Amino acid sequence: MSVKGTKDTARTSGGRTGPETRRLDGSAGIAAEDPARIRNIALVGHSGAGKTMLIEALLAANGMITRKGSIADGTTVSDSDPAAVHQQRSVTLSLVPLLVDGIKVNLLDTPGYPDFIGEMRAGLRAADAALFVVSAVDGIDATTTALWAECEQARLPRAVVITRTDHPRADYDGALAECQKAFGEGVLPLYVPVRTGGDVTGLLGLLSRTVTDYSAGETPGNREADDGELAGVEAARGELIEGIIAESEDESLMDRYLGGEDIDTGVLIDDLETAVARGSFFPVLPASALTGLGTAELLEVLVRAFPPPTERGLPGVTDLAGQPEGSLACDPAGPLAAEVVRTSIDPFLGRICLVRVFSGTLREDSPVHVGGHGLADRGHQDHDTDERVTHIYSPLGATLRPVPYCVAGDMCALAKLGSAETGDTISSRDKPLILATWEMPEPLLPVAVEPDSRSDEDALARSLGKIAAGDPTLRVERNAETHQLVLWVMGEAHAEVVLDRLREQGVKLHTVDVVTPLRETFAAPSAGHGRHVKQSGGHGQYAVCDIEVEPLDRGGGFEFLDKTVGGVIPGTFIPSVEKGVRAQMEKGVSAGFPVVDVRVTLVGGKAHSVDSSDAAFQAAGALALREAAAAGKIQLLEPVSSVGITVSDEHVGSVMSDLSGRRGRLTGTTSTGDGLTEISAEVPDQELLRYAVELRALTAGTGRFTRRYLRHDPVPASFSPS
């Protein structure tokens, strides 16, 4: 076997020795054939809620691993990224497929920390349903509530699983009440915990009135609920039945139920599954990743209640020119339309793309078109390339298992697509298409970096290109005014991941303070005399010019006037003076920042019939502007942004007080009527350098903001910007 073959084998069979030694399925991939027998489900919830360990429990219950991994040891299937192991939390989207009763369930483990919301939204884009994971210990946070609202807007089917019910501080009832308060109507328990001696040992099905007993371990037994257990849940059962009947298409059910009729359980279950699939009813299940409690019930809900991709609408699609195409269907025989939802770099296989196929079928050794449009503002210029799919894999965390094809509705991994980036569309070479991109969050925390040496500059540029290709929430900016390389990230944890990945690729770099791009202007009229005379043998240099400088209104730009008389400066050299003045304005006259909003008038000067030249008058013009600055008063200008902040009503006062301390000017507040307030303000950019982090801390993670450049304003004399 060749060296390359050895590397490929090592990579596709699992690079780590932890989780891979626990697996029973070897290198066998799961390739679905019928979209109706696929479920794509994103696990959503705040960091630490238990998403990753819940997947470990589902894998163990399904027989795909022999024992569960550990987050502390870095041996879970989902978190194979070194940054995830280092930070002890998910930082990337991960795909884990299960085969349950002949149905392929693609579980998408999404990060819960706000810095990685881009990966979470990519998971929701690829999913057809969302499983919200809530900790019975910690409850829910504002980020989870905001994600629920996003799913509500997209009419995405949802269910809730309350985890960590085995913990000594677990409060299942309190967590359930929190969910019902935060998520609204339709959130009702399908099962309730059964306790023995204070410990949760089983689940009681409210519809079936049977108990699944987990007291003997992860292989549960079933029994009928006793009278005492039934009496304790009768109210919850009635509420559940009424909730299901309210969503039923059979309008006679409610009258029959209120009339005392015992509605058939099979009818209730059918109506329940229909309501869940259309996103109007949201069952709640208890679970424990440690004991395996609730895994069987959860798998049943995932398979029976959540819809297949054939029942979900597909993203809009256009041709390469942006003209709308006909609507697509989730049909393996239809035109190929797939989307790259995540891109990573593997040391052996190169670029690996996690792909959701919306229409058509991806096959090995087939030519495809890779196109990316609409992300130019993130540094991802529009691009179109024809490539060939060499290998298709069914990923299980870090392990890539080969499969021959990937049909519409399914997900797979493609290796060695040289140009593919996150958000790109993969389509047929004969009929290239572009899928509408999903909403990408705006990175608002700047981090300036410098290579340790000149030899690291090229390595930094190459590595940043690779990382940015897979991370649309990272924006790379080379600031033309400050000449700094600035990475715009979502937060400090995101910055740490990006910097760690750069260093892992051998780049030596360090962070520096972000410099705010100031500007300079003249605060009052001034005059300058520029004399550039040199004679050192041979052809000399001679140019003299006199200028007057006066400030313009903000945004006035630059004006140059010629008011010389008598031809004291030949007309051919007048543009030379202007060119010299403009060049000096770019360099600055006081603190090294560009000069703006001034009118420069050329009022006099002298020339020599032999020694005057274009270069000499450029030098004289620059010198005249510097002398005018030295004789006059220079005003520094700082950029000011228009900021829109959305916060919960309870934090409005503290946010407005904080804005005042940031030299912000409030321009308005608007109540949205749903417990949120939108605050508009004008704030100097210097005060916004770390606002993405500080607003999150100030509002317990609920606040978010947008910004756009407004203008440059004078810097207060009492303030010294960096």
Query: What pLDDT digit, counting tens, does each position of 505-552 carry?
Result: 889 999 999 999 999 999 999 999 999 998 766 678 999 999 999 999
The predicted structure's pLDDT at residue 14: 43
The predicted structure's pLDDT at residue 23: 54
The predicted structure's pLDDT at residue 91: 82
Q: How far apart are CA 75 and CA 353, in angstroms?
A: 23
Q: How far apart are CA 477 and CA 463, in angstroms?
A: 14
Give me the residues paired with residue 337 across strands. 359, 427
- Burial of 261: CB neighbours in 10 Å, binned 0-12, 13-18, 19+: exposed
The predicted structure's pLDDT at residue 5: 38
User: Which residues of the chain register pLDDT less than 70?
Assistant: 1-28, 84, 88, 218, 378-379, 536-538, 719-722
State the span(s) of the chain assigned CATH 2.40.30.10: 317-435
**Do residues 662 and 460 make contact, with C-beta atoms less than 8 angstroms apart?**
no
Where on the phi/psi map is residue 141: left (φ > 0), alpha (ψ -120 to 50), or beta? beta
Q: Which CATH class is domain 519-632?
A: alpha beta
Contacts of 299 (CB under 8 A, 6+ apart): 58, 61, 62, 98, 100, 105
**Do residues 573 and 612 make contact, with C-beta atoms less than 8 angstroms apart?**
yes
User: CA dist 287 to 186, 212, 213, 291, Å?
Assistant: 20, 12, 13, 9
Of 635, 528, 537, the C-alpha closest to 577 is 528
The predicted structure's pLDDT at residue 379: 67
**Do residues 292 and 168 make contact, with C-beta atoms less than 8 angstroms apart?**
no
- Burial of 698: CB neighbours in 10 Å, binned 0-12, 13-18, 19+: middle
The predicted structure's pLDDT at residue 6: 32
Q: How far apart are CA 606 and CA 345, in angstroms?
A: 64
According to CATH, the topology of domain 445-512 is: Alpha-Beta Plaits (3.30.70)
The predicted structure's pLDDT at residue 602: 97
CATH hierarchy code of domain 317-435: 2.40.30.10
Of 173, 26, 82, the C-alpha closest to 500 is 82
**Do residues 241 and 260 make contact, with C-beta atoms less than 8 angstroms apart?**
no
Q: How far apart are CA 363 and CA 355, in angstroms?
A: 13
Contacts of 163 (CB under 8 A, 6+ apart): 49, 50, 53, 54, 133, 134, 135, 136, 287, 288, 289
According to CATH, the topology of domain 636-714 is: Alpha-Beta Plaits (3.30.70)
3-state secondary structure of 235: helix
**Do residues 256 and 21 make contact, with C-beta atoms less than 8 angstroms apart?**
no
Backbone angles phi, psi at 138, to 5 degrees: -105, -10
State the span(s) of the chain assigned CATH 3.40.50.300: 35-311
The predicted structure's pLDDT at residue 466: 86
Of 266, 392, 370, 262, the C-alpha closest to 320 is 370
Contacts of 40 (CB under 8 A, 6+ apart): 106, 108, 126, 127, 128, 129, 309, 356, 409, 411
Q: How far apart are CA 110 and CA 52, in angstroms?
A: 9
Does this model's pTM top 0.75? My answer is yes
The predicted structure's pLDDT at residue 203: 94
Q: Residue 698 is inside which H or E element, if any?
A: helix 691-698
Of 561, 624, 634, the C-alpha closest to 592 is 634
The predicted structure's pLDDT at residue 255: 84
**Do residues 359 and 337 make contact, with C-beta atoms less than 8 angstroms apart?**
yes
Chain position carrying tokens 């991109």: 437
Of 285, 270, 269, 276, the C-alpha closest to 189 is 285
State the span(s) of the chain assigned CATH 3.30.70.870: 445-512
Sign of the CA dihedral with 703 first, then 708, 713, and 715 last: positive
According to CATH, the topology of domain 35-311 is: Rossmann fold (3.40.50)
The predicted structure's pLDDT at residue 13: 43
Chain position carrying tokens 């005492």: 228
CA atoms within 13 A on the CB side of 237: 17
**Do residues 293 and 165 make contact, with C-beta atoms less than 8 angstroms apart?**
yes
Q: How far apart are CA 501 and CA 83, in angstroms?
A: 8
- Tell me the two tokens of residue 667: 């321009």
